[in-house]
Structure 1
Amino acid sequence: MDTSWKLDMIRRKLVAEQLDAFFITDLHVIRWLSGFSGSNAGVLLSRDHALLLTDFRYREQVREEVTVLESRIVSEGFAAALKDEHLLCGKRLGIEKERVTLDEAERLGQALNGVELVALKGFFSEFRMIKDDQELEHLRQAAAITQKVFEMVLPMIVPGVSEIDIAAEISYQHRRMGAERDSFDPIVACGARAALPHARPTAASFTKGELIVIDMGCMFQGYASDQTRTVSLGRADDDARKVYAIVREAQQLGLDSARPGMPARELDRVVREYIDERGYGEAFGHSLGHGVGTEVHELPAVSRLSHDTLHSSTVFTVEPGIYLPGRFGVRIEDTVIMHETGAEPLQTFTKELVEL
């Protein structure tokens, strides 16, 4: 995995921020930077040196996965390893403000007496938002696995089967199809529970005439998929069909309106106004979407409060929803790649209402 270009970008930012080095503990950033998939690691990146630290459990794994960074197996913790004066090439060490706890920062400061710790938020976000060709391929494959699994579980949705049954099948089939794991716990919600945007699957059984929201994703080679479809078990009633049509049209409007260089909040506004004009603005309470990469939720944020831009090669979701408490909910979600010509959805499964 050649990530030398990522190291070059980060080093230029180190110089711009007047940092001598940066100590990375966020495992998502470490996976993005090095390919290492273990559960315990730290990376010290200076202007001329890059070193990954981990423990003895990953001695062989780090040899297999990490080629660009040097690696070292440590036994006394990362702070002790960083005390080696040869590793720190200066006095200003950056740390991740949003990831390092106060206790961890205090212990690190005590171990590195005389080194100034500089806590910075979102230091790597601008780099992670723009995906290279290899990252895009991993995202495509993750999306393909999830869509295949969705198509496999659809015939299993019959009266008497429960939300938990389908959620468990999704997780099993993701792994069986080559995914590392789910990218989040699957959401399977039927009837009135579909009005809960983040409903947890329960033992509730499906019955005829209900809408069912299925939100699911997996991790493949460290990259996430995320998709949502809403289906009906049997024929949906007229109100449900009306709301479904509005969400489908709003979602398509989002896909058609996305352009490179567009402020993310502008895309959110376009879709939100469409739903609001049809009388359901208060029923669409969450953001339009979010970035997808080594995390299933990362930048860019596609919301009314976002300050992010939808650059070419950013990857994000378009997922409007309408939720009517006590009745039903509808959400349709694609993950898209932004190109110079517009947004490319990674999902191809129909967005017409499927009535099982």
Structure 2
Amino acid sequence: MTWHHRRDLALARAAEAGCSALLITHPVNVRYLCGFDGSAGALLITPDRVVLATDGRYVQQAGIQATDCEVVQTRDYSAALLDIARSAHLSTVGCEGDHVSWNQHARMSELGVDVVATSGLIESLRMVKDSQELDYIRQACSLTESALQATLDAVRVGITERELARIFSSAAMDLGADGLAFDPIIAIGENAAIPHHAPGERALIHGDVVLCDVGASVGGYCADLSRTVVLGSPSPDLIHIHDVVSRAQSAAMAGLAPGVAASDIDQLARDVIAAAGFADKFIHGTGHGLGLEIHEPPLLGASSAGTLGEHFVVTIEPGIYLPGVGGVRIEDTVLVTSNGYESLTTGTRELVEISV
């Protein structure tokens, strides 16, 4: 899909919302619509013009990346672009209500243009991945799995969470990632009961569980992968909990298909965990969309609205967390296909026992 086609779809959605133009200020959405990945700028899309506003630090980059856009150098991106809209007599300009503060919107409204808030307009387009996006995500997933294996190969008594996180980060970059999708989550022992634990100086001892939640990015697109391993032989309780989580993930994956409610996928996983007596230990949603951002629509939770569509990419990541003891999470990045799903992360989901 070309930048031009994406912008045409965006304008069509804007027209449905009563807008004759769009002001895009969220950096990820600017990138999605024109290719510019600088951290400062905004994009105006009208039926006749596409104008990218940025400051002097990024003008050259904008000219290289956003080749089919006019580039305007300014420090006041929104004001400059809304002045263009006003001069073109555009009646109503849609702004990104989810990414514009109250004060920013108030200031925009003083610039002589009718500015109305839209919600999720570009994000809804981003949920459907094209072939180039899927290629980047596949590469990111493959690279993430290789970097995780390099990390697990380094597991030994005495190594710390922080050291393992550094090993993953270094391996991912060495393998060709253009960045990390998020800071690695490496949780040892009792810390594995904290879903988003920040790696610290907890050192590994025999019998510890290690929860790894990691992801690299390629072409700006993210991967997300969680595996739970144990140093030495696992306890019967750990084997049982891992089996419950594995069955919950399998049930959720089996339910994936276009038209299925996002909340139904969450319920499939939750039912398995509840039946095993751990309902109150599954303390987050079953998954989320990902792409240019690590967390993006759709969310797969109990209160999630909407349905899945073909070419959506989501995670399936049920977990059980026992405070003071540890936890288990199994997560894969999955593509929704016309008749089900394809897992883009393909490594073993078994409870891996690492020899000491």
Q: Do they superpose with TM above 0.5? A: yes
2: CA distance, partners of 1:133 / 1:74: 35
2: CA distance, partners of 1:87 / 1:184: 42
Within a 5 Å distance, the mapping from 1:304-323 to structure 2 comes to 304-323=302-321
2: CA distance, partners of 1:87 / 1:295: 34
Equivalent AA in structure 2 for residue 15 of structure 1: A
Equivalent position SS for 2:136:
helix
Aligned to 1:74: 74
How far residue 47 of structure 1 moved from its aligned partner, in angstroms, is: 2.4
1:26–1:75 distance in 2 versus 1, CA, 3 Å:
closer
Asked whether the 8 Å contact 2:11–2:22 carries over to 1, the reply is no
Equivalent position SS for 2:240:
helix
Equivalent AA in structure 2 for residue 326 of structure 1: G
Equivalent position SS for 2:299:
strand
Aligned to 1:186: 184
Coordinate RMSD, CA, aligned: 1.5
How far residue 109 of structure 1 moved from its aligned partner, in angstroms, is: 2.5
Equivalent position SS for 2:121:
coil
Asked whether the 8 Å contact 1:82–1:88 carries over to 2, the reply is no
How far residue 75 of structure 1 moved from its aligned partner, in angstroms, is: 4.4
How far residue 72 of structure 1 moved from its aligned partner, in angstroms, is: 2.3
Deviations 1:87-145 (A, max 9, x none): 644121111111111122222223x12x1110122121221111111111111111111
Equivalent AA in structure 2 for residue 282 of structure 1: D
Deviations 1:77-96 (A, max 9, x none): 44135324676441211111
How far residue 67 of structure 1 moved from its aligned partner, in angstroms, is: 2.9
1: CA distance, partners of 2:98 / 2:343: 31
Asked whether the 8 Å contact 2:288–2:298 carries over to 1, the reply is yes
Unmatched tracts of structure 2, length 5 or more = none
Residue correspondences, number: 354
Equivalent position SS for 1:147:
helix
1: CA distance, partners of 2:232 / 2:116: 58
Aligned to 2:224: 226
Asked whether the 8 Å contact 1:2–1:68 carries over to 2, the reply is no
1: CA distance, partners of 2:188 / 2:88: 55
Within a 5 Å distance, the mapping from 1:18-97 to structure 2 comes to 18-84=18-84, 88-97=88-97
2: CA distance, partners of 1:317 / 1:87: 45
* Range moving further from structure 2, 84-93 or 197-206: 84-93
Aligned to 2:260: 262
* Range moving further from structure 2, 85-94 or 167-176: 85-94
2: CA distance, partners of 1:156 / 1:93: 54
1: CA distance, partners of 2:203 / 2:147: 20
2: CA distance, partners of 1:218 / 1:89: 45
Aligned to 1:197: 195
Unmatched tracts of structure 1, length 5 or more = none
1:86–1:103 distance in 2 versus 1, CA, 3 Å:
closer
Equivalent position SS for 1:239:
helix
2: CA distance, partners of 1:263 / 1:4: 31
Equivalent AA in structure 2 for residue 342 of structure 1: G
Asked whether the 8 Å contact 2:97–2:119 carries over to 1, the reply is yes
How far residue 249 of structure 1 moved from its aligned partner, in angstroms, is: 1.5
1:19–1:104 distance in 2 versus 1, CA, 3 Å:
same
Equivalent position SS for 1:170:
helix
Aligned to 1:133: 131
2: CA distance, partners of 1:310 / 1:85: 36
Asked if 1:282 is matched to 2:256, the reply is no
Within a 5 Å distance, the mapping from 1:168-183 to structure 2 comes to 168-183=166-181
Deviations 1:157-205 (A, max 9, x none): 1110000001112222222222222111110001111000111101000
Equivalent AA in structure 2 for residue 275 of structure 1: I
Equivalent position SS for 1:200:
coil
1: CA distance, partners of 2:74 / 2:245: 52
2: CA distance, partners of 1:196 / 1:76: 42
Which of 343, 346, 349 does residue 347 from structure 2 map onto?
A: 349
Equivalent AA in structure 1 for residue 311 of structure 2: S
How far residue 209 of structure 1 moved from its aligned partner, in angstroms, is: 0.6
* Range moving further from structure 2, 254-263 or 151-160: 254-263
Equivalent AA in structure 1 for residue 315 of structure 2: T
Which of 204, 207, 211 does residue 205 from structure 2 map onto?
A: 207
2: CA distance, partners of 1:35 / 1:144: 24
Equivalent AA in structure 2 for residue 8 of structure 1: D
1:75–1:272 distance in 2 versus 1, CA, 3 Å:
closer
Please report the TM-score for the alignment, with normalisation by the length of structure 2: 0.95
Equivalent AA in structure 1 for residue 222 of structure 2: A
Please report the TM-score for the alignment, with normalisation by the length of structure 1: 0.95
Asked if 1:12 is matched to 2:12, the reply is yes
Aligned to 1:166: 164
Asked if 1:272 is matched to 2:270, the reply is yes
